[in-house]
Structures are given as structure tokens and as C-alpha cells.
Amino acid sequence: MTDTILISHEPATGEELWRGPVSDVDAAVSAARRAWAAWAARPLTERITILRSFANTVRRDADSFADLVAREAGKPLWEARSEIDAVVAKVDIAVQAYAERTGKKKFDAGVGSSAALRHKPHGVMAVLGPFNFPAHIPCGHIVPALIAGNAVVFKPSEKTPAVGEALVAAFHGAGVPTEVIQCVIGGPDQGKALVAHPGTDGVLFTGSVQTGIAINRKLAANPGKLVALEMGGNNPVVVTDTPKLADAAAIIVQSAFATAGQRCTSARRLIVVESVYDALMAELVPLARKLMVGDPLGEPQPFMGPVIDNDTAEQLMESFVALITAGGRALLHMRRSLPALPFLSPGIIDVTEVPDRPDIELFGPLLQVIRVPDLDTAITEANNTRFGLSATLIGGSPEDYGRFWANIRAGIINWNVPTTGASSKAPFGGIGLSGNHRPAAYYAADNSAYPVASTEMDQPRAAIMIGVRS
């Protein structure tokens, strides 16, 4: 630890929630290196039993965990509770994924020998978590890594350190040794030190594309260190002909404004075929205007809480104004009701006439609408991005969805459901600037262990038959 103190504030109130010293990265990694081999040597069944005890600990303390997530991340309590439920469910899903993705195999290799496939843990894994799902997303990396026999050094977002600290305490309480899973408190400097540390064998990152690219560059000359990057998206929802426009509007709202638009899978662009544009906007705009924005712990529960901090709120307001200035037409004005706190109402802008629309991830409740003449043009527009995480088609026929699925460049492609809410029982990841082809969720097991191929005989039997003098 150092003398530097990190302080966390509740976004909804501005009040201090937590404070603690910044961690010593070298000490944490050194301790993990000492501990991981003994953890890996434990039977798999024992590691799984301990992690199931972790799930039971979280389930027992679900109310206090959800309250902490709601306060520190600013998300409504109903949503925080669903996040904690996902943490509990993660263990059984990860156990199943480990068995399926990294199972042992033996087969005949001929001449009295056999071949085997087994998997080994990498060693010490660095996990860097985000603020938007401060419990669920880190657990999506940590739980599979621990099952595989790795040690983990986890750095939560500097915006949600209290949740990270509580999460690690739950692992310890369940029986994971203190040096096998550690919480490193700090900001960008500690994150950079953890990524570059020679004692870490892999980096499992979820966060912004800028940070992900920086990690990729830093480790480009070090192919021995595994790097798995989950980054953001400029995600499209495409709407074509459908009689169910009220349902379409609800799907769009869930895609764009859940978690105050602070999900990597949140819809940033709404691409609408002209034939349904007017009728869809007549449903969407009034629905978005009705969304309650308020205190995460308030009653009745709001649909949205604040964004994570005032800097983020200011940047989003500036982006809204910039799009209007560039030729966008406001369909629903984003507003900031309390200048001292980061509460934003949903904003919807028609940017069809904006030249050179920015291909960036606006991480908040701001939706850009683009009108197009037909579905083929919509698909082309949807692919007009360097990102490739999530995409949804609303409406159309099975043949339309088949064409959409075949041509959209994304790792998650949906039909008549939101871009958000991906299942942990499926792989989660994207292409382009959204990731580096190492998906998480069900495929996180692939990032936690490497395959080892063996050919084996119970006794040495060999002879040189050619090229030997008699």
C-alpha cells in the first residue's frame, strides 16, 4: 500500500461512499506468484466447491451487495439486484463451460501409445474491471480463472472500488486464499503497472476502446502474455416493416437507455426504414419522455439513475450540442435537471443530415436516428462503423433476418430483442474495435487455461530402422 488515498462518491448524491489507500502492485503480483501453484495443485472439485461457497455467500448477502452496487455505480436498485443474481448464477455456468471447453480427452495414437489433451492454468491473471457492472463483469473473468487454477490480481474501476473490495472479501470468506485473489486499488497508473508487470501471465480487460488499444500496443511485443479485450460498440438497431411499433419502441428504449445508456451493448444508432419512420417516432419519443430518471434507491424505482459522474454528464451534453450544431434535429432534448449531479434525461437526435457522422461510442443515454430507404441500405449503414459488438433487427421476415444475420459484422446479432441483455450461457465479444477475438461469458474458459497435447507410452520402446550403419 501507499500513502495515496482513493475516494469514491455516490453519483446520485455526490456524498463520499468509500476511501482507501492505493495498492502496491508489485507486492500483490509477487504474492500471487507465490500462491498460484498451490491453488492449481488442488483438485478441481475442491476449487469448484469453494467457488460454489462464494456463490452462496453472495446469495446470502445479496441485499447489501445490491445496495452497494446501486449507491456506487448509480444504477437503480432493481437493476443492481439483477446484477447480483447474475454473479450468483455465474459459478454454475462457469463450471459447465470449463468442463465443455477445457475437458480432458484420450485417444489411441497407434503402436501401443495413446494421445491426451489436457489444459493448464496460465498462472497469474490480471483482471481490469469496468464501473458499469462492477460485480458481474469482473466475476465473468475471475470465476473461470480461479476454476482453472489461476491466481487473480483484480483492479476494479477507480470509480467503483468499494464494490471490488467487497467482491474480493466474499471470495476470501468462501475459502479462496487471500493471495490467490487480491484487490488492487488505484487508478490508471496502477492499471498500467499491472498490465506491464512481468509477473502477470495474462490480462483480462473490460472497458473503453482507448484503454484497450493502449493495452494491446503495450503488450504487442510480448506474445507470451495472453490478452483478452472486451471493449465498446457503436451498436445499431435496425427497424424495418413491422405492425408492432409499440413493441419496437420498447425494445429500442431498453437497448438505448437501460443503465443510463452505460452498457457496451447499448444501442447508439437507430437506423429506420422510411416507410415506418413517422409511426415509429410517434411511439418512441413519448415513451422515452415518460422514463423516470432518479435516485437509485428512490421509490417508486426509476428506470434510470445518473451517469457515473459529472465529467461524463458534461461530455454527453457537449456531444448532444455538437450533433445539433452539425445538422442534427432534436427529437427529444437531453436535459440535465441538477447541475451539481450527473442526472441526464434520454436524448434522441435525427442525424440523417449530419455529414461525416462520428464513429465513436457515446457512453450514455443519447440515441442517434438515421433514416434509410430500405433494408439493404440499413445493413450497409449499420456496418458503417469500426466497431462490431452488438446489433439488432426489429421487424421483417425470417428471410430478412437471414440476410441481416449473414451481412452484419458483429459478435452478437439479435432479432426482435434488445441489443443488451446477452446471456452468460453464450460467448460475449465483438470484432473490430469491440474486441480481439477472445470472447468472454461462456467462452471465458478459453482465456483461463491453455491446451496441452501429449503422446504417451507406459514404457520406452523405439528403434532406428533407417540410415544406421550395420
Check which CATH number belongs to the domain holding 217 and give it.
3.40.605.10
Q: What is the pLDDT of residue 16?
A: 98
Same domain? For 319 and 400 the reply is: yes
Q: Does residue 470 lie within any of the structural domains?
A: no
Same domain? For 449 and 374 the reply is: no
Same domain? For 357 and 248 the reply is: yes
Same domain? For 372 and 293 the reply is: yes
User: Any catalytic annotation for residue 264?
Assistant: yes
* 300 preceded by a cis bond (ω within 30 of 0): yes
Give the confidence band of 103 by pLDDT, cuts at 50, 70, 90.
confident
- Selected residue with higher pLDDT from 109 and 296: 296
Q: Does residue 105 lie within any of the structural domains?
A: yes
pLDDT of 332 higher than 90: yes
From the list 10, 158, 230, 361, the catalytic residue is 230
pLDDT of 395 higher than 90: yes
Give yes or no for a contact between 237 and 419, defined as CB atoms under 8 angstroms apart. yes
Q: Does residue 468 lie within any of the structural domains?
A: no
> What residue type is 25 in one-letter code?
V
pLDDT in tens, 221-264: 999 999 999 999 999 999 999 999 999 999 999 999 999 999 99
Q: Which of 55, 68, 89, 64 is nearest to 163 (CA)?
A: 68
Place of cell 470468506: 173
Q: Does residue 425 lie within any of the structural domains?
A: no
Q: Which of 201, 207, 226, 151 is nearest to 437 (CA)?
A: 226
Q: What is the pLDDT of residue 108?
A: 87
Same domain? For 96 and 226 the reply is: yes
425: number of CA atoms within 13 Å, CB side?
Answer: 3
Taking the alpha carbons at both ends of the chain, their separation in whole angstroms is: 70
Tally of CB atoms within 10 A around 288: 22
From the list 264, 283, 361, 381, the catalytic residue is 264
Same domain? For 181 and 264 the reply is: no
Q: Does residue 36 lie within any of the structural domains?
A: yes
Same domain? For 246 and 222 the reply is: no
Spell 375-407 as b/e; 16+ CB within 10 A means b.
Answer: beebbebbeebebbbbbbbbbbeeebbebbeee
Q: Which of 447, 410, 412 is nearest to 431 (CA)?
A: 410
Number of domains in the chain: 2
Q: Which residues contact 166 (CB under 8 A, 6 or more apart)?
A: 65, 68
User: Any catalytic annotation for residue 183?
Assistant: no
Helical H segments across 387-443, by residue range: 398-407
Which sign, positive or negative, has the C-alpha torsion 361, 365, 369, 375?
Answer: positive
Same domain? For 335 and 254 the reply is: yes
CATH number of the domain residue 342 falls in:
3.40.309.10
Which sign, positive or negative, has the C-alpha torsion 221, 226, 231, 233?
Answer: positive
Same domain? For 197 and 306 the reply is: no
Same domain? For 219 and 362 the reply is: no
Q: Which domain holds residue 446?
A: 5-231+435-455
Residue 266: all three cell numbers together = 447499448
Give yes or no for a contact between 203 and 25, defined as CB atoms under 8 angstroms apart. no
404: number of CA atoms within 13 Å, CB side?
Answer: 28
Same domain? For 240 and 222 the reply is: no
Q: Does residue 422 lie within any of the structural domains?
A: no
Q: Does residue 342 lie within any of the structural domains?
A: yes
Q: What is the pLDDT of residue 112?
A: 80
Q: What is the pTM of this model?
A: 0.96
> What residue type is 153 in one-letter code?
V
Q: Which residues contact 440 (CB under 8 A, 6 or more apart)?
A: 140, 141, 204, 206, 228, 230, 427, 428, 429, 447
Q: What is the pLDDT of residue 1?
A: 54
Same domain? For 67 and 132 the reply is: yes
Q: Does residue 428 lie within any of the structural domains?
A: no
pLDDT in tens, 113-143: 899 999 999 999 999 999 999 999 999 999 9
